[in-house]
Amino acid sequence: MLRFSNFLFPESRDPDRDADVIADCIAEAKLCDELGVEVLWLAEHHFDGNCAYVDPVTFAAAVLAATKRIKVGFAVAQVSLHHPTRLAEQMSLLDNLGKGRVIVGLGRGTAYNVYEYQGYGIDHEEALERYEEAEGIMLKAWTSPGGFRHEGRFWTLNVPRLRPTPYTKPHPYVIRAASSEDGALHLARRGLPFLMNVQSNEITARRLALYRATMGEAGFDAAHIARCMDESWVWRNVVVAETDEEARRIGLPAFEAMQEHRKKLRERIYAEQGIIMKKETVPPARVNPDLALFAGSPATVAERLAEVEATGVGGVICSFRLGPMTADATARSIRLFMEEVAPRFAPPRAAAAAE
């Protein structure tokens, strides 16, 4: 069975409306909690308005306080922009506030937006190495009751016992992002689940098959492979309405406007500084609405999701609020999804109990 979550990734084009969009986000979190969405994932992006609340660590505390059941995940914390001891403390606090409702999603940071590194005074070429060193520090901080010393390239630390201690033992649940096939296979060799970015259903199926095969070649047994598949998540943009025509009328312009806005500051920085991290050779599934957007009636969206289910992955991260979509339109889409799409993927026993 597939599990469903919401990627709360709200755009705010007008700085004077940031407070309104952030308030919309809290309302959306409460709605998802009410409707039984499993996880609310938070993004981290800076300076461009592509993620209105900007700081997912601070915002997660507000979401946990406003909700009762839903898990709060990071998709992902840009680890290279954070001090690892501080981030470990913050995640441990959130784990206590939510009594285990936190999913610590980790990634190195954006592969495209050089201005996010510049704004933090960090060389973007160091991002991966900073991330790898920081992840190790965070795991030590959570699991070293006697404290620890660390001497690395970026940090020299003498850390007493971390407080607060994590609510979840031995540490908060951690999952890593992998935006490339090589990244997914690296995690497969470590026997770890992962978060996959937007891809076509065809690429998703191929990548997950390679992921399973690589874990098998690395010596992991069938039960471990099945558990990693169940704990992995793939990202899709989703708009549900009563009819296919209505969903596409709402979803297509919002999707296209979102793509344009996400490139805007990146292109300006390139024009001003001549610096580009990665050429805009993004996968077609990110920019082609026929591949990247599941927009339609409940039956149509369920049909697309059935293809995802056939890959064997455990969960789908649904982005419901795309670009300039209104909060009301987003709420209608989420409600229709949870009432008429999600139940089609419930296990038979749960489905029978609900009748």
Query: What's the predicted TM-score (pTM) here?
Result: 0.95
Three-state secondary structure call for residue 149: strand
State yes or no: pLDDT of 106 exceeds 60. Answer: yes
State yes or no: pLDDT of 80 exceeds 80. Answer: yes
* Residue 135 contacts residue 76 (beta carbons within 8 Å): no
Burial 147-181 (b: 16+ CB within 10 A, else e): ebebeeebeebebeebeeebbbeebbbbbbbbbee
DSSP letter for 245, please. Answer: H
Count of C-beta atoms within a 10 Å radius of residue 234: 22
Task: Using alpha carbons only, give the angle 93, 81, 96 rounded to the nearest 5 degrees.
Answer: 10
Beta-bridged to residue 71, according to DSSP, are: 39
Per-residue pLDDT, 283? 57
Per-residue pLDDT, 351? 45
Per-residue pLDDT, 350? 46
At 22, the amino acid letter reads I
Residue 286 phi, psi dihedral angles, 5° rounding: -85, -30
| Tens digit of each residue's pLDDT (9 = 90 or more) over 198-253 | 999 999 999 999 999 999 999 999 999 999 999 999 999 999 999 999 999 999 99
Cα–Cα distance for residue pair 25/138, rounded to 1 Å: 28
Q: How many residues would you count in the chain?
A: 355
Per-residue pLDDT, 288? 82
Residue 39 — very low, low, confident or very high, per pLDDT cuts 50/70/90? Answer: very high
To the nearest 10 degrees (0 to 180), the angle between helices 56-66 and 84-97 is 10
Distance of CA 128 to the CA centre of its chain: 18
Per-residue pLDDT, 284? 59
Q: What is the largest CA-CA distance in the chain?
A: 61
User: Is residue 24 packed enough to be buried (19+ CB in 10 Å), middle (13-18) or exposed (0-12)?
Assistant: buried
Cα–Cα distance for residue pair 162/165, rounded to 1 Å: 6
State yes or no: pLDDT of 149 exceeds 90. Answer: yes
Residue 278 — very low, low, confident or very high, per pLDDT cuts 50/70/90? Answer: confident
CA-based nearest residue to 1, from 274, 261, 316, 257: 316
Domains with residue ranges and CATH for the chain: 3-75+179-354 (3.20.20.30)
Q: Tokens 């989703």 map to which residue?
A: 238
Count of C-beta atoms within a 10 Å radius of residue 126: 15
Q: What is the mean pLDDT of residues 41-62?
A: 98
Residue 289 — very low, low, confident or very high, per pLDDT cuts 50/70/90? Answer: confident
Residue 290 — very low, low, confident or very high, per pLDDT cuts 50/70/90? Answer: confident
* Residue 205 contacts residue 234 (beta carbons within 8 Å): no
Query: What stretch of H or E contains 328?
Result: helix 327-336
Average pLDDT score over the chain = 95
Residue 352 — very low, low, confident or very high, per pLDDT cuts 50/70/90? Answer: very low
Q: What is the mean pLDDT of residues 104-115?
A: 95
Per-residue pLDDT, 281? 55
Peptide bond into 164 cis (omega under 30): yes
Strands 148-151 and 156-159: antiparallel
